[in-house]
Protein backbone atom coordinates (compact mmCIF):
# COMPACT_ATOMS: atom_id res chain seq x y z
CA UNK A 1 0.00 0.00 0.00
CA UNK A 2 0.99 3.65 -0.45
CA UNK A 3 1.58 6.06 2.42
CA UNK A 4 -1.92 7.49 1.85
CA UNK A 5 -3.41 4.02 2.37
CA UNK A 6 -1.33 3.57 5.53
CA UNK A 7 -2.66 6.91 6.76
CA UNK A 8 -6.28 5.96 6.02
CA UNK A 9 -5.91 2.50 7.60
CA UNK A 10 -4.65 3.95 10.88
CA UNK A 11 -6.11 7.46 11.01
CA UNK A 12 -2.60 8.90 11.40
CA UNK A 13 -1.83 11.94 9.18
CA UNK A 14 0.90 11.46 6.56
CA UNK A 15 3.01 14.25 8.10
CA UNK A 16 2.93 12.43 11.45
CA UNK A 17 3.91 9.16 9.76
CA UNK A 18 6.95 10.90 8.25
CA UNK A 19 7.81 12.42 11.62
CA UNK A 20 7.70 8.99 13.27
CA UNK A 21 9.98 7.65 10.52
CA UNK A 22 12.52 10.44 11.09
CA UNK A 23 12.44 9.63 14.83
CA UNK A 24 13.01 5.95 14.13
CA UNK A 25 9.63 4.81 15.48
CA UNK A 26 8.47 3.31 12.18
CA UNK A 27 10.56 1.60 9.48
CA UNK A 28 10.64 3.14 6.02
CA UNK A 29 8.63 1.44 3.29
CA UNK A 30 10.10 -0.57 0.43
CA UNK A 31 11.06 1.45 -2.63
CA UNK A 32 8.73 0.26 -5.41
CA UNK A 33 9.75 2.12 -8.53
CA UNK A 34 10.18 5.82 -9.28
CA UNK A 35 8.77 8.08 -6.54
CA UNK A 36 6.79 5.20 -5.00
CA UNK A 37 7.19 3.56 -1.61
CA UNK A 38 5.23 0.53 -0.52
CA UNK A 39 4.00 -0.32 2.97
CA UNK A 40 2.77 -3.60 4.45
CA UNK A 41 0.44 -4.81 7.19
CA UNK A 42 3.49 -4.85 9.47
CA UNK A 43 3.65 -1.05 9.12
CA UNK A 44 -0.04 -0.77 10.01
CA UNK A 45 0.52 -2.90 13.09
CA UNK A 46 3.61 -0.98 14.22
CA UNK A 47 1.96 2.39 13.63
CA UNK A 48 -1.06 1.39 15.74
CA UNK A 49 1.31 0.33 18.52
CA UNK A 50 3.18 3.66 18.36
CA UNK A 51 -0.09 5.59 18.57
CA UNK A 52 -1.30 3.53 21.52
CA UNK A 53 1.96 4.09 23.42
CA UNK A 54 1.97 7.84 22.74
CA UNK A 55 -1.75 8.75 22.85
CA UNK A 56 -3.10 6.25 25.35
CA UNK A 57 0.01 5.33 27.34
CA UNK A 58 1.22 8.93 27.47
CA UNK A 59 4.81 8.00 26.60
CA UNK A 60 7.16 10.61 25.17
CA UNK A 61 8.58 10.08 21.69
CA UNK A 62 11.96 9.32 23.31
CA UNK A 63 10.50 6.70 25.65
CA UNK A 64 8.51 5.16 22.79
CA UNK A 65 11.67 4.95 20.73
CA UNK A 66 13.50 3.20 23.60
CA UNK A 67 10.63 0.77 24.15
CA UNK A 68 10.57 -0.17 20.47
CA UNK A 69 14.37 -0.52 20.43
CA UNK A 70 14.02 -2.98 23.33
CA UNK A 71 11.70 -5.08 21.14
CA UNK A 72 14.08 -4.91 18.21
CA UNK A 73 17.26 -5.77 20.14
CA UNK A 74 15.80 -8.46 22.35
CA UNK A 75 17.55 -11.45 20.83
CA UNK A 76 16.32 -14.53 22.66
CA UNK A 77 16.40 -13.00 26.10
CA UNK A 78 12.87 -11.93 26.99
CA UNK A 79 13.85 -11.22 30.59
CA UNK A 80 16.40 -8.67 29.45
CA UNK A 81 13.82 -7.16 27.05
CA UNK A 82 11.37 -6.72 29.94
CA UNK A 83 14.12 -4.88 31.84
CA UNK A 84 14.77 -2.58 28.89
CA UNK A 85 11.09 -1.76 28.54
CA UNK A 86 10.89 -0.97 32.25
CA UNK A 87 14.01 1.16 32.01
CA UNK A 88 12.51 3.19 29.14
CA UNK A 89 9.23 3.98 30.89
CA UNK A 90 10.44 4.58 34.45
CA UNK A 91 11.63 8.06 35.35
CA UNK A 92 13.50 8.59 38.60
CA UNK A 93 13.41 12.20 39.69
CA UNK A 94 15.75 12.15 42.69
CA UNK A 95 19.39 11.30 43.13
CA UNK A 96 20.31 9.23 46.19
CA UNK A 97 16.81 9.08 47.70
CA UNK A 98 16.71 8.71 51.48
CA UNK A 99 14.17 5.88 51.39
CA UNK A 100 16.51 3.47 49.55
CA UNK A 101 16.89 1.24 52.63
CA UNK A 102 13.13 1.14 53.11
CA UNK A 103 12.68 -0.17 49.56
CA UNK A 104 15.43 -2.77 50.06
CA UNK A 105 13.75 -3.94 53.28
CA UNK A 106 10.34 -4.08 51.60
CA UNK A 107 11.69 -6.29 48.79
CA UNK A 108 13.41 -8.51 51.37
CA UNK A 109 10.21 -8.91 53.37
CA UNK A 110 8.24 -9.75 50.23
CA UNK A 111 10.93 -12.10 48.94
CA UNK A 112 10.91 -10.37 45.55
CA UNK A 113 14.00 -10.82 43.37
CA UNK A 114 14.51 -7.44 41.67
CA UNK A 115 17.80 -6.42 40.03
CA UNK A 116 19.76 -3.67 41.78
CA UNK A 117 19.71 -1.70 38.51
CA UNK A 118 15.92 -1.82 38.04
CA UNK A 119 14.98 1.87 37.84
CA UNK A 120 11.72 1.22 39.72
CA UNK A 121 13.74 0.67 42.92
CA UNK A 122 15.23 4.18 42.88
CA UNK A 123 11.96 5.68 41.61
CA UNK A 124 10.01 4.08 44.46
CA UNK A 125 12.54 5.33 47.03
CA UNK A 126 12.19 8.83 45.56
CA UNK A 127 8.41 8.56 45.68
CA UNK A 128 8.49 7.58 49.36
CA UNK A 129 10.66 10.65 49.99
CA UNK A 130 8.04 12.78 48.22
CA UNK A 131 5.24 11.45 50.45
CA UNK A 132 7.39 12.33 53.47
CA UNK A 133 8.17 15.84 52.19
CA UNK A 134 4.45 16.46 51.63
CA UNK A 135 3.65 15.39 55.20
CA UNK A 136 1.73 12.32 53.98
CA UNK A 137 4.14 9.49 54.86
CA UNK A 138 1.45 7.84 56.99
CA UNK A 139 -0.73 7.26 53.89
CA UNK A 140 1.82 4.54 53.10
CA UNK A 141 1.71 2.78 56.46
CA UNK A 142 0.20 -0.18 54.60
CA UNK A 143 2.86 -0.24 51.87
CA UNK A 144 3.22 -4.03 52.15
CA UNK A 145 -0.50 -4.44 51.41
CA UNK A 146 -0.18 -2.21 48.33
CA UNK A 147 2.71 -4.41 47.20
CA UNK A 148 0.74 -7.64 47.68
CA UNK A 149 -2.12 -6.40 45.48
CA UNK A 150 0.32 -5.03 42.89
CA UNK A 151 1.87 -8.50 42.78
CA UNK A 152 -1.54 -10.03 42.11
CA UNK A 153 -1.92 -7.65 39.16
CA UNK A 154 1.56 -8.51 37.89
CA UNK A 155 0.66 -12.20 38.04
CA UNK A 156 -2.24 -11.47 35.67
CA UNK A 157 0.17 -9.60 33.36
CA UNK A 158 2.61 -12.49 33.29
CA UNK A 159 -0.22 -14.99 32.71
CA UNK A 160 -1.15 -12.85 29.69
CA UNK A 161 2.34 -13.33 28.24
CA UNK A 162 2.05 -17.10 28.65
CA UNK A 163 -0.74 -17.27 26.06
CA UNK A 164 1.57 -15.81 23.39
CA UNK A 165 3.48 -18.36 21.33
CA UNK A 166 6.31 -16.68 19.49
CA UNK A 167 9.06 -14.47 20.86
CA UNK A 168 7.86 -11.46 18.85
CA UNK A 169 4.31 -11.87 20.11
CA UNK A 170 5.52 -12.14 23.71
CA UNK A 171 7.65 -9.02 23.28
CA UNK A 172 4.80 -6.95 21.93
CA UNK A 173 2.47 -8.23 24.65
CA UNK A 174 5.12 -7.23 27.23
CA UNK A 175 5.15 -3.68 25.92
CA UNK A 176 1.36 -3.46 25.77
CA UNK A 177 0.82 -4.84 29.26
CA UNK A 178 3.55 -2.69 30.81
CA UNK A 179 2.43 0.61 29.30
CA UNK A 180 -1.33 0.21 28.75
CA UNK A 181 -1.59 -1.95 31.87
CA UNK A 182 -0.65 1.13 33.92
CA UNK A 183 -3.58 2.98 32.37
CA UNK A 184 -5.92 0.02 32.88
CA UNK A 185 -5.11 -0.26 36.58
CA UNK A 186 -5.41 3.52 37.13
CA UNK A 187 -8.87 3.67 35.56
CA UNK A 188 -10.19 0.64 37.42
CA UNK A 189 -8.75 1.97 40.68
CA UNK A 190 -10.42 5.37 40.21
CA UNK A 191 -13.82 3.83 39.58
CA UNK A 192 -13.39 1.61 42.64
CA UNK A 193 -12.38 4.70 44.67
CA UNK A 194 -15.61 6.40 43.69
CA UNK A 195 -17.63 3.30 44.55
CA UNK A 196 -15.91 2.91 47.93
CA UNK A 197 -16.00 6.60 48.89
CA UNK A 198 -19.60 6.18 50.05
CA UNK A 199 -18.83 7.86 53.36
CA UNK A 200 -18.19 11.06 51.42
CA UNK A 201 -21.28 10.80 49.25
CA UNK A 202 -24.09 13.24 50.09
CA UNK A 203 -27.21 11.58 51.49
CA UNK A 204 -29.79 10.88 48.77
For residue 37, report the phi and psi dihedrals to the nearest 5 degrees: -130, 140
Among residues 4, 56, 62, 72, which is the contact residue for a copy of itself, using CB under 8 A?
56
- To a copy of itself, the closest distance from the beta carbon of 106 in angstroms equals 9
- Binders of a copy of itself among 130-149, rule CB under 8 A? 130-131, 133-136, 138-140, 142, 145-147, 149
Among 1, 16, 19, 86, binds a copy of itself (CB under 8 A): 86
Nearer to a copy of itself, 25 or 127 (CB): 127
47 CB contacts (<8 Å, ≥6 apart)?
6, 10, 12, 17, 20, 26
Rounded CA-CA distance 82/15 in Å is: 31
Burial group, residue 124, by CB count within 10 angstroms (0-12, 13-18, 19+): buried
- Smallest gap from residue 32 Cβ to a copy of itself (A): 26
Smallest separation (angstroms) from a copy of itself to the CB of 22: 23
In whole angstroms, the minimum distance from the beta carbon of 118 to a copy of itself comes to 6
Q: In the set 4, 8, 115, 168, which binds a copy of itself (CB under 8 A)?
A: 115
24 phi-psi bin (left φ>0, alpha ψ -120 to 50, beta other): left
Instruction: Please report how close the Cβ of residue 100 comes to a copy of itself at its closest, in angstroms.
Output: 14
Contact 176, 59 (CB under 8 A): no
Among 5, 93, 98, 168, binds a copy of itself (CB under 8 A): 93
Cβ(45)–Cβ(68) below 8 Å: no
Q: Which is nearer to a copy of itself, 65 or 175 (CB)?
A: 175
Residue 31 main-chain phi, psi, to 5 deg:
-70, 130
Of 152-191, which residues contact a copy of itself (CB under 8 A)? Answer: 152-163, 172-173, 176-178, 180-191
Per DSSP, the three-state class of 58 is coil
Amino acid sequence: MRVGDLSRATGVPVATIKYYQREGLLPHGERAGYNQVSYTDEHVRRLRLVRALVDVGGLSITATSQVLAAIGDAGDNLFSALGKVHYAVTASTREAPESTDRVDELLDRLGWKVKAGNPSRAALAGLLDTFTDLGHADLLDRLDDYAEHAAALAALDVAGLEIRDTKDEKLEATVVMTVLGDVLVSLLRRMAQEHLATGYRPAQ
